[in-house]
Amino acid sequence: MGDNSLRAAIVAQEARLEELYNAGDAKGVSELYTEDCQFMSPGTKLVVGRQSVVDAVNATRAAGWATLKLTTDEVGDIVDGRDTAFESGQYVRFKADGSPGEGGKYLVVWKKVDGVYLIYLKCFNSN
């Protein structure tokens, strides 16, 4: 997969994640992660598995972060031909009234499963 097609695949998955999060679909968001994913958010312990993603999305939305905007900065192969990729980017969370709140950066390791890139490792923190 060339650099442009790899970037397009990752950016499309992030756009889907943003769409699902903004619609309040925590289960849908979790399906963009591998079954054995690891989710590393600030101030919390490492959590593993799709249910942890559901819980994190629900907790974030309950804390008042109604929508999310993701911006991919860089995408690349981790090891050429191994169906893994990295992505770095930035995010902004918005309150229900549309006002911007927390912004930060993220790093993701993507793993290709059955022909589709899914999030395997995700780590983020606020600015």
Query: Tens digits of per-residue pLDDT, 15-63?
Result: 999 999 999 999 999 999 999 999 998 888 999 999 999 999 999 999 9
Q: What is the pTM of this model?
A: 0.92
Q: How many domains does the chain have?
A: 1
DSSP state of 14: H
13-17, 75-79, 89-93, 115-119: the lowest-pLDDT one: 75-79
The pair of structure tokens assigned to 15 is 């756009």
Q: How far apart are the first and last CA of the chain?
A: 33
User: The domain that contains 42 carries what CATH number?
Assistant: 3.10.450.50
Q: Is residue 101 very low, low, confident or very high in pLDDT (cuts 50, 70, 90)? A: confident
pLDDT number for residue 100: 85
pLDDT number for residue 1: 47
**Distance between CA atoms of 96 and 66, rounded to whole angstroms?**
5
Average pLDDT over the chain reads 93
Instruction: For 9-27, give one letter per residue: b (16+ CB within 10 A) or e.
Output: bbbebbeebbebbeeeebe
CA 114-9-48 angle, 5° bins: 60
Range of the domain at 44: 3-126
